[in-house]
Structure 1
Amino acid sequence: MRWGAGSVSGDMTRTAVLALLARRGPLSRAQIAERLELSPATITASTRRLLTEGLLVEEDPRPSVAGRPSIPLALVPASAHAIGIQVAGEHVSGVIARLDAQVVHGFRRDFDPAAPDAIRTLTTLIRAEVDEAERDRLPISGVGVAVPGIVEPETGTLRMSVRLGWTGTPLAARLRKALGVPVFVDNDISAITAAERLYGPGADDADFLLVAIGQGIGLGMVLDGAPYRGAAGAAGEFGHLPILPDGPLCVCGNRGCLETQVSTEALLRDARAAGILTAESGLADLDAAAARDDQQAVSLLNRAGELLGRALAGAINLLGPQTVVVMGEITALWLHLSEPFHHALAMHLLPAGRETRIDVRAWDEELIAASAARIVLGAPLAAPRQKG
C-alpha cells in the first residue's frame, strides 16, 4: 500500500496503523506490517506507543498455522473522538466521530456567512459541541472544519471562498485561539478525498480522483498514495475548467467554466429558463421531467452528461488514475446522465485510460462533516502541514 514518497514515517505510521485497523478490524503486528509494507520493527515500535496511550488493545491470541500464536491488535473506539464541521452557504452541520471514524452524533444549524459576526457565530456553535462532549466525558482530539474555497495547507487560512464571501480569513488560527483545542481547516472536497484515502473504499488505491458535483464542482486527487493539494492549496478547481469561450458568467468571475454548465445550480437555472421547471422546483422535479420523456429535460441532461464525460476524460488522460469516484447532489440525476457521460468518456479517453474504473456513489448529506472529523483522526495525512 503506497502512501506517498517518504510520507509513512513518524506520525504518519501512527495514522496508517489506526486507519487500517478502523477499516479492517483486529490484525496482528505481522499482518499490519505486511499490509502497510513496513518493517516489523517499525510496526512494533508504533503499536507499543498506541497501546501505552490506550488507543489499542491486545486481544486473545489466535492459533497460527506455524509458529507462535498471533496476537491481534484492536482499536479502542471510544478512546478518542473528533468534531467535524461543514460550513456551507446557508447552514453549518457537524458530527462527532470516534477513533474508528464512526459517527456518534450529528447536528445542523442555519447559518449566514455574510453576517458581520459570522465567525463569532460559528465559534459559538462549535464551542457548544466541545462543551457537550466534555460534559459527556468524550476525549476530544480536535476539530476539523471543511469549507468551500481555497485553503492554505500550511496555516488553515481561507484564502478565498466565493460561496462564503470570505477572503484572507485565518480561520484555523482564530478558531484554535477561541476554542483552546487543535483545529484543522481544509477545503471540503480535499477533506472528503483525504478521508476516502484513509477510511473509504479508495483506501487501497494509490491513484484516484474524486469528483463532487453539487452547487459547485470540485476534484480531489490522490497521486502516488498521497492527497495532492497544489503549492498553495488551489489544486482541484475542476469546476473552473474553461470549456466555452463565450459562455455564461461564472461565480469566479470568468466565463464558460464547466460549473456554469454541469453543476446542479446551472442545471436548475437552465431548466427554469427553458420552462421545464418553475422557480420553486428542484432536482427531483427535473428528474421526474426526464423520466416522463420531456424532450427539453432529456436534451439538457444529455448535454450535461456529454460535457462532464469529455472534461473528465481530459483529467484521466492527464493524471492516469486507477479509479474515479463521482459523487454529490448530481447523482440524483445519474440515470439520465449516465449514457451520454460514458459515451463521451469512451470517445475521448486514450487507450491506456480505458481501464480506469468509474465509481458513482449516492450522495450522503453528512459526508462533508464526517470527513472533516476524519481529517483530525487522520492527521498528518489529511492535514500534513497544519500544526493543529
Structure 2
Amino acid sequence: MRWGAGFVSGDMTRTAVLALLARRGPLSRAQIAELLDLSPATITQGTRRLLAEGLLVEEAPRPSQGGGRPSIPLALVPESAHTIGIQVAHEHVTGVTCRLDAEVVHSFRHTFDPAAPDALQTLITLIRTEIDEARHRGLPLAGVGVAVPGIVDPETGTLRMSVRLGWNGLPLAARLREALGVPVFVDNDISAVTAAERLYGPGADEADFLLAAIGQGIGLGMVLDGAPYRGALGAAGEFGHMPVQPDGPVCVCGNRGCLESLVSTEALLRRAHDAGILPAASDLDDLGTAARNGDPAAVALLQTAATLLGRALAGVVNLLGPRSVVVIGEITALWDLLGEPMHAVLLDHLLPCVRDTTIEVRPWDDELIAASAARVVLAAPLAAPRQRG
C-alpha cells in the first residue's frame, strides 16, 4: 500500500494501521507490515503505543503455518474511541457518530439555513448536542470532523470560499474548536470522502484514483501517488467549474458555462423545467421516469449531459492517468440512462494508453459525507495533515 512521499510519518503509520484493521479484521504484526509495506520495527513501535492507549488488543496466539513461532493477531477495540462527523449543506446538516472501526452507531439530520444571521451558532448548538449525547452514553470522543462544500485551507481549516453556503474567509475550524472544546478538523466535503475511501474503501488498495461526485454540485477528489491531492491553497478538485460551454448558463460561482451549470442534478432539473419536460415541482426520479418512458426531450437532455460529462472526464483522465474513477452522488440514480452514452464519449476522447481506466459507480448514501467527515478525525494526518486539533 503506497502512501506517498512524506506521508508515512509516525502519525500516518498510526492512521494506516487503524484503518487496515478496520477493513481487514485482526492481523499479526508481520501481516500488517507486509500489507502496509513498512518495516516490522516500525509496526512494532507503532502498535505498542496503540496497545498502551487501549485502541488495540492482542488476541490468542495462532499456530504458524510454517511451523515457527505462533503469531499474535492484533484487533481493534471498536468502542475505545468515537468520532462525530458533520456534513454542512445549503439546506441541511447531517451528522453521524462512528466507532473506531468506522461503523456508524448514530445519525441525525436537521434543516439548516447558512444565510441566517445565527447560522454558525446554530451549527455549534447542533454539534454540542451530539457531543453531550456521546458523553451521556459514556462514549470516548476523539474529536469532530466537519465537511463543507467549498475551498478549505488545508493548514488552518479556514473556509476560504463556499458559493453554496455563502461563507467566505471563515476560520471555521478555529471557531468550532474554541466553542466546543474538542479537537475539530474541517475539510472540503469531497476531499473528506476521498480520504475516507483511501483509508476504508476499495480505494485503499489503489495509489492513483479519482472520485467524481455529481449531485447538486460537482467535485473531484484525487489520490495521486498514494496521497490525496488538494493543491497549494486547497482549491484543487473544482471539477464542476471546468469551463465547457462559452455561451452556457451562468454558474453559481458567477462564471458562465461551467460543467456544474449544465450537468449537475440541479441544472438538469432546471433545464427540464424550462423546456417543459417536467412541471416545476418535479424531482430527479421524475426526470428518470420520463426518459425511461421514452420522452424524446428527456432522453435528449440526458444524452447531452452524458456527452459533456464524458468529454470532461476524458480530459481529466488524460491529464492525470488514474487507474480508476469512482462516481458517486445523486446522479447515480440516473446512471442506467447516462452510463452507456457517457462511457462511449469517454472512450472516444481517451488516449489509447489510458483506455483501460475503470469507471466504478457507487449507489448514493445520504450519510456518506457525514460518515467520511467522522473518519477525517482518525485520518487527520492524511486528510488534514497540518491542522491542529
Is 1:121 the counterpart of 2:122 in the alignment?
Answer: yes
Alignment of 1:131-142 (within 5 A): 131-142=132-143
Which residue of 1 is the match for residue 185 of structure 2? 184
Which residue of 2 is the match for residue 218 of structure 1? 219
* Corresponding residue SS for 1:4: coil
Q: Contact 1:213/1:327 (CA < 8 Å) preserved in 2?
A: yes
**Structural RMSD (CA):** 0.6
| One-letter amino acid matched to 1:53 | E
- 1:310 Cα deviation after fit: 0.7
Q: Contact 1:101/1:377 (CA < 8 Å) preserved in 2?
A: no
Alignment of 1:83-232 (within 5 A): 83-232=84-233
* Corresponding residue SS for 2:335: helix
Is 1:282 the counterpart of 2:283 in the alignment?
Answer: yes
Distance 2:111 2:244 in 1: 35
Distance 2:265 2:6 in 1: 39
Alignment of 1:299-318 (within 5 A): 299-318=300-319
Distance 1:298 1:157 in 2: 42
- 1:98 Cα deviation after fit: 0.4
Distance 1:365 1:85 in 2: 12
Distance 2:258 2:217 in 1: 11
Distance 1:77 1:52 in 2: 15
Which residue of 2 is the match for residue 365 of structure 1? 366
- 1:99 Cα deviation after fit: 0.4
Q: Contact 1:97/1:104 (CA < 8 Å) preserved in 2?
A: yes
Q: Deviations over 1:251-285 (max 9, x none)?
A: 11110000111100110011011111101000000
Distance 2:37 2:379 in 1: 19
Q: Deviations over 1:128-175 (max 9, x none)?
A: 000110111100000000000000000000011011010100000000
Q: Contact 1:303/1:340 (CA < 8 Å) preserved in 2?
A: no
Distance 2:118 2:201 in 1: 36
Distance 1:191 1:6 in 2: 20
* Corresponding residue SS for 1:324: strand
Alignment of 1:13-32 (within 5 A): 13-32=13-32
| One-letter amino acid matched to 2:60 | D
Distance 1:319 1:73 in 2: 37
* Corresponding residue SS for 2:83: strand
| One-letter amino acid matched to 1:210 | L
- 1:238 Cα deviation after fit: 0.2
Identity score, percent: 78
Distance 2:54 2:245 in 1: 56
Distance 2:164 2:6 in 1: 36
Which residue of 2 is the match for residue 3 of structure 1? 3
Distance 2:65 2:260 in 1: 56
Distance 1:34 1:323 in 2: 24
Moved over 2 A (4+): none
Distance 1:339 1:288 in 2: 17
Distance 2:161 2:6 in 1: 30
* Corresponding residue SS for 2:117: coil
Structure 1 stretches lacking a partner, 5+ long: none
Q: Contact 1:59/1:72 (CA < 8 Å) preserved in 2?
A: yes
| One-letter amino acid matched to 1:387 | R
Which residue of 2 is the match for residue 50 of structure 1? 50
| One-letter amino acid matched to 2:21 | L
- 1:6 Cα deviation after fit: 2.1
Q: Deviations over 1:56-84 (max 9, x none)?
A: 00001111122101100000000000000
Which residue of 1 is the match for residue 34 of structure 2? 34
Number of residue pairs matched?
388
- 1:338 Cα deviation after fit: 1.1
Q: Give the structure-1-normalised TM-score.
A: 0.99
| One-letter amino acid matched to 1:286 | L
* Corresponding residue SS for 2:366: coil
Alignment of 1:236-255 (within 5 A): 236-255=237-256
Q: Deviations over 1:90-135 (max 9, x none)?
A: 1111000000011000000111100001001100000000011011
Q: Deviations over 1:322-370 (max 9, x none)?
A: 1100110000111110121011000000011111110011100000000
* Corresponding residue SS for 2:382: coil
* Corresponding residue SS for 1:97: strand
- 1:211 Cα deviation after fit: 0.2
Q: Contact 1:85/1:93 (CA < 8 Å) preserved in 2?
A: yes
Q: Deviations over 1:215-243 (max 9, x none)?
A: 11000000000000000000000000001
* Corresponding residue SS for 1:380: helix
Distance 1:59 1:355 in 2: 42
Distance 1:20 1:383 in 2: 19
